[in-house]
Structure 1
Amino acid sequence: MSFDPNRPTILYAAPLSLFSGKARAYLRWRGVAFEERLATKEVYKEIIVPRLGYAMIPVIETPEGETIQDTTEIIDHFEALAAGPSVFPEGPRQRLAAHLLELYGDEWLLLPAMHYRWRHNRDFAYREFGSTAAPDASPEEQVEIGKKAATRFEGVVPMLGATPEMAPAIEASYEALLGELEAHFSVNDYCLGGRPSVGDYGLIGPLYAHLYRDPASGEIMKRLAPSVAAWVERMHEPPQPESGDFLAGDEVPETLLPVLRRMMTEQGPCLRELCGAVAAFKGGSPDADIPRALGMQPFTLDAPGVKEATGKRLIFPNGQWLLQRATDWLGSLDGSERASADVFLKQIGGDFVTPELVEAPVRRENFRLVWA
């Protein structure tokens, strides 16, 4: 893909930010000429909040002056401009798997990511928050600034389900996932072969910024799953832009199926309840703005050896927006392609994923969810 280096895209981001890592990895693979600017306190005040109406990174400013905030929309934007290979597979099974994995990484793996950061990497996180907010302050000042800046992130951790009581289950589930990913990435460069898909970019957010880059969790990954660590490094520093191919014949590797089955076992029941909660909210308040969360829901982790693996977490409507990418794709298929996709979903325990699952569709407009 060709971009004018004299008119670079600007990425407002931070090294410790989960979704900044997703955006950065994609822009590098796509070969976008971009300039990364640290999201300091001043940048939030003068640029990000005035444009979005709230404080969130990453934010993209295109050479044409367009502002894009969500990483999924960032990828969609540049994919629409690209003439080269796409991160969206064309086969029905591979495309469905890619959308599901993006949903899994973006929404569900927030749980281990936030758990490990705030249980095992807290002091490191304070320093990182401080150096991001005030890069010119002394190390001692940065720690104090970081503690204040991190307050809103720490406060939401229990609401994501990462409570002290759930710690053994979260760690057992995550280590089991690492084992499944290790088996896959020991024989595959990416999720679906030799080219990263949008599913890889969903996974890279939590697996890079929190679970690889944070020192304590990074040590765990490198020790238990060195092939996963190598994939993270390959994703973050692509060997060559726009390179590689997906597996032929719309193949979803057998080694990837345990990961998708884990997703359906853990996240699947929450997705069903999420869609019901969104529909119920619209039915009761059809003219109200869609809130960022709709109460709490129970969830259960597939945590080997742990007796108590059930907790509660917030219900995020944004998860339905990501789910709709899979259900919309499924709904666009017919004939043998739809039959192939349906067989694949049954293989992974996801046959409940149908277009009919989404009763009250949503979309994004002006940086917020609205009714479709």
Structure 2
Amino acid sequence: MTSTDQQTVLYGAPLSLFSGKARAYLRWRGVPFEERLSTPEVYKTIIIPRIGYPMIPVIETPDGQTIQDTTEIIDHFEKHTDGPSVFPDTPKQRFAAHLLEFYGDEWLLIPAMHYRWRHNRDFAHAEFGKTALPDGDEAAQIEAGRKASKMFEGVVPMLGATPEMTDAIEASYEALLGELDAHFARHSYLFGTRPSIGDYGLIGPLYAHLYRDPASGEIMKRLAPNVVAWVRRMHELEGAEPESGEFLDGDEIPETLLPVLRRMMREQGPCIQDMTDKVGALKQSSPDADIPRALGMQPFTLEDRSGEEKTGQRLVFPYGQWLLQRATDHQAGLSDEDRKGVDGLLGQIGGDFIKPEMIKAPVKRENHKLVWA
């Protein structure tokens, strides 16, 4: 289908974390779209020529635009389609929603990659094979999948998912499931009966890797049935309607969401500060340099099941600062009274360090890549 057919095309794959995020949003927004599998031929003839690197999902709009990043995909349809927004229009909910998109997109990569490649490897090989060799028989697909997934498997330790961190990653994730399950027992989505941009940040890892992959899916079904119900509402619209629902009145941040936000600040917080420091240092030392995809490694600490702290190492991604800036830019633009409310929320969750001033070298996305703002 071409752009003249007046339908959006989504190039993605069932196993792809961010394809799940984009697909869930397009379904809720009611955007007519056709999904096409991102085969090697699609990468060669469409994705790399248009984007410059091999990455999914990619959408082609009816007017011929090509958009790669899921946040930019959502921004595009929020701007160009009518209907209720996934961005709350009250200060605390909007701020928290941006934080939770950042948390899902960046931090929950750790459990997502851990569970896929420690507990679901054979399934992942088969799924990669179905994308790499869609017309092959099962044996050929599995062999193709092993080859196609080598790059992804190779980066898993650099994302922090090492054998030494296994117990701590699983303890943290299971605790997060419990916190989310308690929240979704009382609320359909993060901030009421309408999904927010924060929900779309969480659905990527929680659907494609942690629900759809069989071993981790069994864990979610056993420990967190309310999270399972939320995943199905988000991705399949099971029991939900497109463009439906409302955010909670009075800019309310549900009490049940505070443990999730506190976990984010406790676990991801030190890495957030280190990330902005490293981006700032790069700009100061090499102001004309291109921004690399990663800026070395950083330590991160999680508690294992015994309560002992375990420290691993993970890559620092400047892209994360771009997501964080969506929260801090919102924070900076608030009135004094509204800023007090956001600052009060940060005090409740241990996030006092989150402030516009922490961004020492702002970045932006331009032509499918990160550049200095």
Give TM-score scaled by structure 2 length.
Answer: 0.98
Q: Paired residue for 1:108?
A: 107
Q: Deviations over 1:224-272 (max 9, x none)?
A: 0000011000000122110000000000100000000000000010000
Measure the CA separation in 2 of the matches of 1:69 and 1:189. 29
Tell me which amino acid in the other structure corresponds to 1:366: N
Unpaired runs of at least 5, structure 2: none
Q: Paired residue for 1:285?
A: 286
How many residues are treated as equivalent by the alignment? Answer: 369
Measure the CA separation in 1 of the matches of 2:202 and 2:339. 26
The residue correspondences of 1:220-235 to structure 2 (distance < 5 A) are 220-235=219-234
2:329 aligned with 1:333: no
Is the partner of 2:88 in helix, strand or coil?
coil
Tell me which amino acid in the other structure corresponds to 1:61: E
Q: Paired residue for 1:138?
A: 137
2:211 aligned with 1:212: yes
Measure the CA separation in 1 of the matches of 2:355 and 2:324. 10
Is the partner of 2:245 in helix, strand or coil?
coil
The residue correspondences of 1:114-133 to structure 2 (distance < 5 A) are 114-133=113-132
Equivalent pairs: percent with the same residue?
72
Query: Is the Cα contact below 8 Å between 1:168 and 1:306 reproduced in 2?
Result: no
The Cα of 1:6 is off from its aligned counterpart by 4.8
2:166 aligned with 1:153: no
Measure the CA separation in 2 of the matches of 1:309 and 1:169. 7
The residue correspondences of 1:219-368 to structure 2 (distance < 5 A) are 219-238=218-237, 239-368=240-369
Is the partner of 1:301 in helix, strand or coil?
strand
Query: Is the Cα contact below 8 Å between 1:19 and 1:57 reproduced in 2?
Result: yes
Q: Deviations over 1:150-200 (max 9, x none)?
A: 011000000001000000000000000000000000111000000000000
Measure the CA separation in 2 of the matches of 1:341 and 1:168. 34
Q: Paired residue for 2:179?
A: 180
Tell me which amino acid in the other structure corresponds to 2:297: M
Measure the CA separation in 2 of the matches of 1:208 and 1:306. 28
The Cα of 1:309 is off from its aligned counterpart by 1.6
**What stretches of structure 1 move > 2 A for 4+ residues in a row?**
none
Unpaired runs of at least 5, structure 1: none
Query: Is the Cα contact below 8 Å between 2:302 and 2:309 reproduced in 1?
Result: no
Root mean square deviation, CA, Å: 1.1
Query: Is the Cα contact below 8 Å between 1:59 and 1:69 reproduced in 2?
Result: yes
Query: Is the Cα contact below 8 Å between 1:5 and 1:33 reproduced in 2?
Result: no
Tell me which amino acid in the other structure corresponds to 1:351: D
Measure the CA separation in 2 of the matches of 1:218 and 1:160. 21
Tell me which amino acid in the other structure corresponds to 1:314: L
Measure the CA separation in 2 of the matches of 1:52 and 1:335. 41
Measure the CA separation in 2 of the matches of 1:34 and 1:306. 47
The Cα of 1:335 is off from its aligned counterpart by 2.1
Is the alpha carbon distance of 1:348 and 1:304 closer, same or farther for their aligned partners in structure 2, counting shifts above 3 Å? farther
Is the partner of 2:300 in helix, strand or coil?
strand
The Cα of 1:305 is off from its aligned counterpart by 1.7
Is the partner of 1:309 in helix, strand or coil?
strand
Q: Paired residue for 1:63?
A: 62
The Cα of 1:307 is off from its aligned counterpart by 2.3
Measure the CA separation in 2 of the matches of 1:350 and 1:47. 42
Tell me which amino acid in the other structure corresponds to 1:84: G
Tell me which amino acid in the other structure corresponds to 1:284: S
Measure the CA separation in 1 of the matches of 2:178 and 2:317. 28
Q: Paired residue for 1:77?
A: 76
Query: Is the Cα contact below 8 Å between 1:166 and 1:308 reproduced in 2?
Result: no
Is the partner of 2:298 in helix, strand or coil?
strand
Measure the CA separation in 1 of the matches of 2:42 and 2:318. 28
Tell me which amino acid in the other structure corresponds to 2:218: E
The Cα of 1:30 is off from its aligned counterpart by 0.3
The Cα of 1:83 is off from its aligned counterpart by 2.1
Give TM-score scaled by structure 1 length.
Answer: 0.98
The residue correspondences of 1:163-202 to structure 2 (distance < 5 A) are 163-202=162-201
Measure the CA separation in 1 of the matches of 2:278 and 2:204. 26
Tell me which amino acid in the other structure corresponds to 2:171: A
Q: Deviations over 1:36-61 (max 9, x none)?
A: 00001110111001111110000010
